[in-house]
Amino acid sequence: MSVSIVALATMGVVPAAAADLPTKAPPAPVYAPLPFTWTGFYVGANVGGAWGQGTVTDNATGGTFGTGERGAFTGGGQLGYNYQIGNVVFGVEGFFDGIASGNNNTSNIVTGLAGHQFQGNANATWVSTLGGRLGFTGPGFDHWLFYAKGGGGWVGYDATVSDLTNGLSAKTSSSQGGWMAGAGIEWAFAPNWTARVDYQYIGLNGFSVGPTFVADRFVVNNPNVQTVTFGINYLFH
């Protein structure tokens, strides 16, 4: 009889003790990080350099001299919008930079009508572009964007031709339009911040420089400007 009572008592204690033991919490769920998205408006600033080229032609004699500009400092900003579908990013962007005025470049001397000698210089003062962007990103490098772009471009010019024989000079300040093509790489280094390197080539329409000199008239042919800039953007997701 005593053995049965002890056994019954033991059976009653063990389940009670087991119920009092602490239970192990289930492991916390592990969530994969969401891929970065480039969709959204962005605005930013940039600095860099610009280089220009062109050829000035004397219409009376056919003589030409270059107006190539040495590199000049540029600075300004950009704003745009991206829309991502899968690994492809479509976008549109406006860009405006001022160009430092210290990039005047005096050309060689050419001889025009009546033996007059001429010399010229050109100075691009600002550049602006508006175009579309087509970029590519993907799994494993979704914080990187490789893009090409194209559209229209405009450049402000101050161009001067001087008649060294009589001391007269003609100056033209104008804005010239044309086409733009470029490419770049952009890196998202924070949830809303990106850094980029951007290249643009702007091919422009030709233009005349000032009034005639002794029946000579000068035209700038095939001017173009190239820019390389480093920029920071804030992306509004």
Cα separation values, 149 from 98, 143, 164, 184, Å = 21, 19, 44, 8
Contacts of 167 (CB under 8 A, 6+ apart): none
Give the predicted TM-score (pTM) of the model.
Answer: 0.79
Model confidence over 146-176: pLDDT tens digits?
999 999 999 998 877 878 888 777 777 889 9
Domain 2-236 fold is Porin (2.40.160)
Q: With the CA atoms of 136, 139, 144 and 150 taken in that order, what torsion angle do they form, in degrees rounded to the nearest 10?
A: 10
Distance (Å, whole) CA 91 – CA 80: 7
Model confidence over 196-206: pLDDT tens digits?
999 999 999 88
Task: Let me know: does 155 contact 124? Beta carbons within 8 Å.
Answer: yes
Distance (Å, whole) CA 28 – CA 34: 18
* pLDDT over threshold 90, residue 187: yes
| Per-residue pLDDT band at 25 (split at 50, 70, 90) | low
Q: Which residue blocks in the chain are alpha helix, DSSP H?
A: 2-20
Task: Let me know: does 164 contact 155? Beta carbons within 8 Å.
Answer: no
